[in-house]
Structure 1
């Protein structure tokens, strides 16, 4: 399925102001590419705890050069692309006449934001009665199904699966791509040391127990580092371990693979889907303490037989090297000129 865009249409992309994380970067990448393909895409920023409209573009995203919308023209020929966390704006009068596209960058973040919306209103008098008649901007699946001129765009296979299970028809799937510094495709195998890296923000006590059982190895937390420092440590590490929840296609595992790290991954969220992370199943584990002995064996294999183990991730690295090419093709499939 695709969407036909007229030459006079403006595509507005709703994005949090001055906020650097995977979702906002994907939104800027989409805006840049739409413009390069001849469409008129503009960023529309919303204030948040991280930034105001006085300086809405994060320094990391100025390179994408996406124009900022001075005002959203509420016209039926125009489009509004918004992430799943902003679905509460689907019924805003300001956007009433626009064609709307929800880009499902994170299934998990949608569910969290949905509960936040319920919490905001459920204490009010006659909440259930009023909610039944859609008196509150709560973006339930049921309400979205009833909304006209609303399209759904998947990002990960995790979101493809979510949309299918909830009977929300998708117009396509567009993922993002990693920055140029991670797409050089170099061979980093000769720089490797016996180091295991991990993201402490994405892991909990389960990883701590794994670390205790494998204390003979050097563990390095990727925290309080610049992007350049993260990159340098990925080049040196032999293993990247992640048993955290993956709300979408996470960047850090992909970046680690590009730097020739072996990956040992859990099965939470997007990480459970081979389509999102096509690695051999022997490197993917359920979140269960009974699996720690086998996880330890795989860690030992990756460290002490790195040359052999690293070969298992070459096919995934080749896929990642083509991410931007795939990104452009997918945009061309979904967005057509009329």
Structure 2
């Protein structure tokens, strides 16, 4: 057991409404509900942005960092390079989307090139922001992986924990996240006709209809873009399936949200999607990355579309696992940040 810090500060991008910033709010909220002195700290580049109204229900006030040995400053992987400015406080990185991180971004882009070539999709067909990509590459050139050694590490997924052990020779403790239920429960309270439709995230893979469409007849493709969170929930609630080809840099939220809303999640077996501990889906709802990926993905989806109720029943265990997310998250937060159990020696489960 290692030292427990008196104050905990969590760096975050103020004004952004995505899974990562919400997880950072959840972390501070969990710490405060369990008696810790924890606060958010906006990144300098976002300090003038307004806070997200949808996160007001989290107990997550802001404060300025007190750079003293009794303090711990946690940064998401996208801001890990900011920790080098601290002189006295303890530091930790929370690896939420490890493949997007500064030290490993170039490696993942190379893997994406290989994936694109293998399945016959033009590389960068799904890359929405080349400026952000260029910025990450520039940061990666100046970042030294040995800078990771002196700090603590938290991993949002078993995939990230395994990745860090192999690629950086560092140990990380598992601290996941959870799916907020307000919007999902509100949508489930309404009656909705489920269509022969497949929802997908065009920010990750705009090419899905073009690649899979020729293999599937009479399928409605639902791009989850330009929608409010309520709109996304309704689209998933009315779709038979959600397809996500990855690359799953952590325990992605969308497959979990889809399953809770009754859309059967079908994923590529990549990243955290390949780890049973991160994505405990039935084997038949994960598609191996091979030279016949398109045909195999289409076959998996056709099986779901032909008998959606049966396929949804096959994911009952997955939905029960998602229901336990918040309780597990609070337990993980307490074990690591309140009890000081930074060395996580639980087995790293193999990909399935």
TM-score normalised to structure 2 length? 0.81
Equivalent-residue separation in structure 2 for 1:87 and 1:233 (angstroms): 35
TM-superposed CA distance for 1:206, in Å, is: 5.3
CA contact 1:154–1:174 (8 Å) conserved in 2: yes
Equivalent-residue separation in structure 1 for 2:207 and 2:68 (angstroms): 51
Structure 1 position 303 matched with structure 2 position 283: no
Structure 1 position 99 matched with structure 2 position 90: yes
Counterpart residue number, 1:73: 66
> What per-residue deviation string (whole Å, max 9, x for no partner) do you get for residues 231-278 of structure 1?
111111111111132221111111001112112111232212222111
Counterpart residue number, 1:237: 239
Counterpart residue number, 1:43: 40
TM-superposed CA distance for 1:96, in Å, is: 1.0
Between stretches 286-295 and 262-271, larger displacement belongs to 286-295
Which runs of 5 or more structure 1 residues have no equivalent in the other structure? 123-137
Which runs of 5 or more structure 2 residues have no equivalent in the other structure? 108-133, 341-352
Counterpart residue number, 2:337: 335
1:253 match: secondary structure: helix
> 1:62 pairs with 43, 56, 68, which one?
56
The number of residues matched between the two structures is 310
> 1:16 pairs with 13, 16, 23, which one?
13
Equivalent-residue separation in structure 2 for 1:181 and 1:120 (angstroms): 37
TM-superposed CA distance for 1:297, in Å, is: 2.6
Equivalent-residue separation in structure 1 for 2:30 and 2:212 (angstroms): 42
TM-superposed CA distance for 1:332, in Å, is: 1.4
Equivalent-residue separation in structure 1 for 2:93 and 2:140 (angstroms): 23
TM-superposed CA distance for 1:74, in Å, is: 1.0
> What per-residue deviation string (whole Å, max 9, x for no partner) do you get for residues 193-221 of structure 1?
22211111111435521122214111111
Aligned residue runs from structure 1 range 250-265, under 5 A: 250-265=252-267
> 1:89 pairs with 78, 82, 87, which one?
82
CA contact 2:160–2:249 (8 Å) conserved in 1: no
Equivalent-residue separation in structure 2 for 1:4 and 1:295 (angstroms): 47
Counterpart residue number, 2:204: 202
Between stretches 172-181 and 311-320, larger displacement belongs to 172-181
Structure 1 position 152 matched with structure 2 position 153: yes
TM-superposed CA distance for 1:60, in Å, is: 2.1
Higher-Rg member (1/2): 1
CA contact 2:245–2:268 (8 Å) conserved in 1: yes
Counterpart residue number, 1:132: none
Equivalent-residue separation in structure 2 for 1:47 and 1:211 (angstroms): 44
Counterpart residue number, 1:4: 4
Structure 1 position 143 matched with structure 2 position 137: no
Structure 1 position 30 matched with structure 2 position 20: no
> What per-residue deviation string (whole Å, max 9, x for no partner) do you get for residues 104-140 of structure 1?
1111111238985663696xxxxxxxxxxxxxxx443
TM-superposed CA distance for 1:160, in Å, is: 1.0
